[in-house]
Chain A
Amino acid sequence: MKRIYSPLAEKSIKSLKVGDEVSLSGVIYTARDLAHQELSDAVRHNRKLPICLRDQVIYYCGPTPRQKDRVIGSCGPTTSSRMDDFTLDLLKVGLKGMIGKGPRSPQVRAAIKKYKAVYFLAIGGCGALLSTRVKKARVVAYKKFGPEAIYRLEVEDFPLIVGIDSAGRDIYKRKAG
């Protein structure tokens, strides 16, 4: 199990190989369908983004509401391919990591290689367990979208698998090939 920290340093991205099991600590931002539409629209129209994405990691996740004595509700990954059409825009402005579940489009895979980024898999349907690895959480943008708002999360030892590494190697393609 490799330990890595977010925001991601170039060196640590390069050290990751497809299939590696990693444990991530640091800051990550949630964003799913609606937030992606908004962020991508802002990039395309040269508007200021509500968060700076340089070297950051986005987690495709819409958590359940928080119970009073907990940091966050259940918070597992959602299907990544729904974000594919918006991902290039975010990589262009410095996004370095994505966490989700399932395969990505060939375009996204190529862009991950081009921008030297990385795509991680989290285990789908493990939201309760994953919530225990979140130490702080607060909404930082698009509050009105409810679960689709952008949350800033501080995570500790968040368990992930490298799905596509910075050389463009894809865990799903490798398996099929």
Chain B
Amino acid sequence: MRKIHARQITSIISELCIEANTNLRSDVKRALRLSLAREDNPRARGILQMLLDNAACARKFKLAICQDTGLPCVFVKLGQEVLIVGGDFLKAINKGVEEGYRKGYLRNSITAHPLKRKTTPGFSPAVVTVEIVKGAHLELAVLPKGFGCENKSALRMFKPSEGPEKIKDFIIREVKLAGSEACPPFIVGVGIGATSDRAASLAKEALLRPLKRKNSDKIVAKLEKELLNKINRLGIGPMGLGGKTTCLGVNVLTAPTHIAGLPVAINISCHALRSASRRI
């Protein structure tokens, strides 16, 4: 067994929270630059340039890219040969979130009770997804999810016979509904298969995949490409003010499902798609 100390997990999570929130992902920056080069709507161009300037400003002053520093979602891949010592695993993660959010001057956006509210919000708890994997390593990813876009999440249970065309219509409809409120240009995460809850989780996890990486599954890669092109033809544009830049990428994750079902979930990210990960 390889021993990993809880303290190390806390300190890594803390660093990842700050990195994710203040340093825009390089694949997102690249996608913004490519979109700016292709965009010909003057207002859209102005906004895309501002987004790039904002990312540079955030990095320079170690400021949050967006004031909504999100609900921290932590994805863990825990090797089965790893033994966590020196403390409680989940506590170590949440302590890291609190430390990172405090040190990084990130916003306390978590309200302790969803119905009570009206109290000073806190930094944690994070939403933690753990997957046990082969090996003796630990992989931690932090994805702070802003709620302007999280509020546009949707799930639909399709009939197995409905297939890709109906799925595309559903995704397009949801993207249209998200419109300007979810801060386009978007990155669209889609989860297909498994159960309703797992599909929703996959849709979020899909946002972790780098934008330029092509899907190895040919059917899924085709679906991603078609969706991206269709969404960019909607004309929503940056801030919903028009232009051909509505979506920077579509990432789809699939999982085996039941013969009677076809769950599809969508998780939209605003242009400030933030995540950071580390493997130890």
Contact between A66 and B105, CB atoms less than 8 A apart: yes
Query: Do A147 and B109 form a contact, CB below 8 Å, given A78-B148, A79-B148?
Result: yes
Interface size on A, residues (CB 8 A): 39
- What mask results when residues 234 to 255 of chain B are scored 1 for a CB within 8 Å of chain A, else 0? 0000011110000000000000
In the bound complex, CA of A74 to CA of B107 (Å): 9
Contact between A78 and B68, CB atoms less than 8 A apart: yes
Which one of A64, A121, A148 contacts B69 once the chains associate, using CB atoms below 8 Å?
A64
User: Does A48 touch B at the CB level, under 8 Å?
Assistant: no
Contact between B183 and A101, CB atoms less than 8 A apart: yes
- What mask results when residues 53 to 75 of chain B are scored 1 for a CB within 8 Å of chain A, else 0? 11101100111111111000000
User: Does A161 touch B at the CB level, under 8 Å?
Assistant: yes
User: Does A26 touch B at the CB level, under 8 Å?
Assistant: no
B105 / chain A contacts, CB cutoff of 8 Å: 64-67, 73
Stretch at the interface among A90-98, A112-120, A123-131: A123-131
B63 / chain A contacts, CB cutoff of 8 Å: 64, 67, 70, 73-74, 127-128, 131
Contact between B117 and A127, CB atoms less than 8 A apart: no
Contact between B181 and A81, CB atoms less than 8 A apart: yes
For window 100-117 of B, CB contacts with A under 8 Å fall at 105-109, 117
Query: How far is the CB of B47 from the nearest CB of chain A, in Å?
Result: 6
User: Does B16 touch A at the CB level, under 8 Å?
Assistant: no
User: Does A106 touch B at the CB level, under 8 Å?
Assistant: no
A145 / chain B contacts, CB cutoff of 8 Å: 118, 120
User: Does B272 touch A at the CB level, under 8 Å?
Assistant: yes
Interface size on B, residues (CB 8 A): 40
In the bound complex, CA of A63 to CA of B179 (Å): 23
Which one of A34, A102, A131 contacts B181 once the chains associate, using CB atoms below 8 Å?
A102
Which one of A127, A128, A146 contacts B108 once the chains associate, using CB atoms below 8 Å?
A146
In the bound complex, CA of A73 to CA of B66 (Å): 10
Contact between B50 and A123, CB atoms less than 8 A apart: yes
Query: How far is the CB of B51 from the nearest CB of chain A, in Å?
Result: 6
User: Does B270 touch A at the CB level, under 8 Å?
Assistant: yes
For window 164-186 of B, CB contacts with A under 8 Å fall at 179-181, 183
Question: Which A-chain residue is minimally distant from B62 (CB atoms)?
Answer: A67
- What mask results when residues 50 to 70 of chain A are scored 1 for a CB within 8 Å of chain B, else 0? 000000000001111111001
In the bound complex, CA of A121 to CA of B57 (Å): 21
In the bound complex, CA of A52 to CA of B108 (Å): 28
Query: Do A123 and B47 form a contact, CB below 8 Å, given A64-B67, A74-B64?
Result: yes
Contact between A103 and B180, CB atoms less than 8 A apart: yes
In the bound complex, CA of A66 to CA of B151 (Å): 27
- What mask results when residues 104 to 145 of chain B are scored 1 for a CB within 8 Å of chain A, else 0? 011111000000011111000000000000000000000000
Contact between A124 and B239, CB atoms less than 8 A apart: yes
Contact between B241 and A125, CB atoms less than 8 A apart: no
Query: Do A126 and B51 form a contact, CB below 8 Å, given A64-B105, A172-B240?
Result: yes
Query: How far is the CB of B31 from the nearest CB of chain A, in Å?
Result: 14
Query: Do A126 and B181 form a contact, CB below 8 Å, given A74-B65, A147-B107, A175-B242?
Result: no
Question: Which B-chain residue is minimally distant from A61 (CB atoms)?
Answer: B67
Interface centre among B106, B148, B239, B240 (most CB of A within 10 A): B239
In the bound complex, CA of A61 to CA of B241 (Å): 20
Query: How far is the CB of A79 from the nearest CB of chain B, in Å?
Result: 5
Query: Do A125 and B183 form a contact, CB below 8 Å, given A61-B67, A132-B57?
Result: yes
User: Does A76 touch B at the CB level, under 8 Å?
Assistant: yes
Query: Do A129 and B64 form a contact, CB below 8 Å, given A64-B107, A172-B180, A175-B241?
Result: no
User: Does A144 touch B at the CB level, under 8 Å?
Assistant: yes
Question: Which B-chain residue is minimally distant from A142 (CB atoms)?
Answer: B118
The 3 closest A-B pairs by CB, nearest first: A102-B181, A128-B58, A74-B64
Q: Would you list 11 pairs from A and B whose C-beta atoms are within 8 A, ordered by A residue?
A: A62-B67, A64-B105, A78-B148, A81-B181, A102-B179, A103-B240, A125-B66, A128-B57, A144-B119, A146-B120, A147-B121
Given contact pairs A70-B61, A123-B51, a sample of 4 additional A-B residue pairs in the complex whose CB atoms are under 8 Å apart: A34-B118, A102-B240, A121-B241, A128-B66
Residues of A within 8 A of B (CB): 34, 61-67, 70, 73-76, 78-79, 81, 101-103, 121, 123-129, 131-132, 144-148, 159, 161, 171-172, 175
